[in-house]
Chain A
Amino acid sequence: MSIDLFHALAGSLLGTLGFAMLVHAPRRSWLPGALIGMAAFLIYWLLGLAGLPEAAAIFIGSLTGAMAALFCARWLRMISTVFLMMSIVAFVPGLGLYQCMHYLGEGETVQGAQAGIQAMISIAMIVLGQSIGSYLFRTLVKPPHHRQGH
């Protein structure tokens, strides 16, 4: 992990907040959603510091983020999509995608393919973490008698 704690916290908070504004998330979801995004990224960052492979760190960060997002949606009685999206957006491998294109643009096909595969693995881990997190939450936490956010 090449960034320090300040960059990790400020970057994930601002990035998630800006993304929420872009998709017109309800205003009362901005702060809790951005905090969930930041916390999920912090878990990933700490696991990376502890020496866990990047793919595993993304998977665990995405899984815990998804569970926190679903809990928050139920607590605030809002749609889960808002928080689920905010919980994963900091993991989207924008830099990896750019590096892939950059290498391909320079004609360095092997390095481009390597960066592209790495980005695809990150995306697969995000999807897997969110799927399992959503499934676990819905299995472990029973819905209330009257429906909350669905």
Chain B
Amino acid sequence: MTLEDERACMAPLQLAGQLIVESGGEIYRVEETITRMGRALGLRDVDSFAVPSGVFISYRLSDGTVETAVRRLHPGATDLERIDRVNSVSRRIEEGTLTLAQASAELEAIRDDRRPVRRWQPLAAWICASGFSLLFGGGVAEFLLSGAVAALVELLCEGLNRARAQSMFITLIGGLVSALVPMAAALLWKDLNTAPTIAGALMPLLPGLAMTNAVQDTVRGDMVAGLSHGMSALLTACLAAGGALVAAALFLRLTGGGAV
């Protein structure tokens, strides 16, 4: 490999790290993927250090100098399929079935792939919330209403996201609407059990992935990333539940507690 080829390896390594972090992946996975890809491409002394907001990569060129780069990252929407595709590219480089040029092209294709996945989100939220309302002891009415509320909240959150609202504010509003609509419905529908309906509607807002990432990063010995993901999960759960708390207090004040 020429010196220019070695220097050209930095871009795909950075892109792989960027795609994993921005799609909601674990930090240990970013570092492991970059190191494995670099070694498989024939680079020496490959090192990577990632945090949830950036990635640092360095390796030694054949002339003895060290090539280093830093990239600032901004976590985006969770997309596990993207992480899986990056992982597949990394695996095929290691197996020797993908050249540097092919890997770069595939990673760029993953970055530029803007699938219309958002259309599925309200349906996904509906299925998720309906299922959990059953798990929390709900019946048919709770099953239907919980799903409908979650789909509505998902559409609302997407709208707020497009309006560039802060993610914390979006979660808080999501929690508030998830609780407020079933409480209002219970005024008209006396037999409705609000607890499983609201709890089911809140479930799509809860941080299942951040919790998994926190555990996995901690198990691999990365306490900084584990704590960071853990705090993110805790904050998200508190905000979603806090929205429900505001809704409950508001409703109690307005109705005197009859429907809550």
Which A residues contact B (CB, under 8 angstroms)?
2-3, 7-8, 10-19, 21-27, 29, 41, 77-82, 84-85, 88-90, 92, 94-95, 97-102, 104-106, 123, 126-127, 130-131, 134-135, 146-147, 149-150
- Chain A residue nearest to B200 in the complex (CB): A94
Instruction: Kindly count the residue-residue contacts between A and B in the assembled complex, taking CB atoms under 8 Å apart.
Output: 195
A120 to chain B, nearest CB (A): 10
CA distance A19 to B211 in the complex (A): 14
A88 touching B212, Cβ below 8 Å: yes
Which one of B81, B125, B195 contacts A95 once the chains associate, using CB atoms below 8 Å? B195
Q: Select which of B79, B130, B208 is within 8 A of A92 by beta carbon.
A: B208
Q: Which residue of B lies closest to A100 (CB)?
A: B241
A-B residue pairs, 8 tightest by C-beta: A18-B128, A14-B131, A105-B248, A11-B135, A15-B131, A18-B127, A21-B124, A11-B134
- Least Cβ distance of B68 to chain A in Å? 25
Contacts of B120 in A (CB 8 A): 21
Minimal Cβ-Cβ distance residue in A for B87: A79
B81 partner, pick from A14, A24, A101, A147, beta carbons under 8 A: A24
B83 contacts A94, C-beta separation under 8 Å: no
What 1/0 flags go to B110-138 for Cβ under 8 Å of A?
00000001001101111111111111110
* Contact A88 B211, beta carbon cutoff 8 Å: yes
Residue of A3, A25, A95, A149 near B199 (CB, 8 A) is: A95
In the complex, the chain A residue whose C-beta lies closest to that of B205 is A94
Query: Can you list 15 pairs linking A and B with CB atoms under 8 Å apart?
Result: A15-B132, A18-B131, A18-B204, A81-B83, A84-B215, A95-B136, A95-B195, A98-B202, A101-B248, A105-B244, A106-B257, A106-B260, A126-B211, A134-B216, A135-B219
Chain A residues lying within 8 Å of B133, measured Cβ to Cβ, are 11
User: Shortest distance in angstroms between A98's beta carbon and chain B's nearest beta carbon?
Assistant: 4
B204 to chain A, nearest CB (A): 6
**CA A84 to CA B80, docked complex, whole Å:** 12
Contacting residue for B91 out of A89, A106, A147, CB 8 A: A147
Cβ contact within 8 Å between A101 and B212: no
Q: Does B67 contact A (CB under 8 A)?
A: no
User: Do A15 and B29 form a contact, CB below 8 Å, given A24-B81, A94-B136?
Assistant: no
Q: Check A21 against B128 for contact (C-beta < 8 Å).
A: yes
Are B126 and A134 in touch, CB under 8 angstroms?
A: no
B84 touches A19 (CB 8 A): no
- Chain A residues, Cβ within 8 Å of B249: 105
CB of B231 to closest CB in A, whole Å: 13
User: Which residues of A sit under 8 angstroms from B91, Cβ to Cβ?
Assistant: 77, 147
Instruction: Give the most central of A12, A17, A88, A94: most B CB within 10 Å.
Output: A94
**When A25-B81, A98-B202 are in contact, do A14 and B130 touch as well, CB less than 8 Å?**
yes
**A13 in complex: contacting residue of B131, B198, B237, B244, CB < 8 Å:** B131
Chain A residues within 8 Å of B216, by CB: 80-81, 84, 134
Q: Are A130 and B124 in contact (CB under 8 A)?
A: no
Expressed in whole angstroms, the Cα–Cα distance for A150 and B117 within the complex equals: 25
B227 at the interface (CB under 8 A from A): no
A27 neighbours in B (Cβ, 8 Å): 81
Partner of A81, one of B179, B206, B212, B247: B212
A97 to B126, CA, bound (A): 20
| B149 part of interface (Cβ distance < 8 Å) | no
- Which residues 233-247 of B sit at the A interface, judged by CB distance below 8 A? 237, 240-242, 244-247
A142-B242 Cα distance, complex, nearest whole Å? 44
- Given A24-B117, A106-B252, A134-B215, A15-B128 contact (CB < 8 Å): yes
| Chain B residue at minimal CB-CB distance from A23 | B78
B137→A3 contact, CB < 8 A:
yes
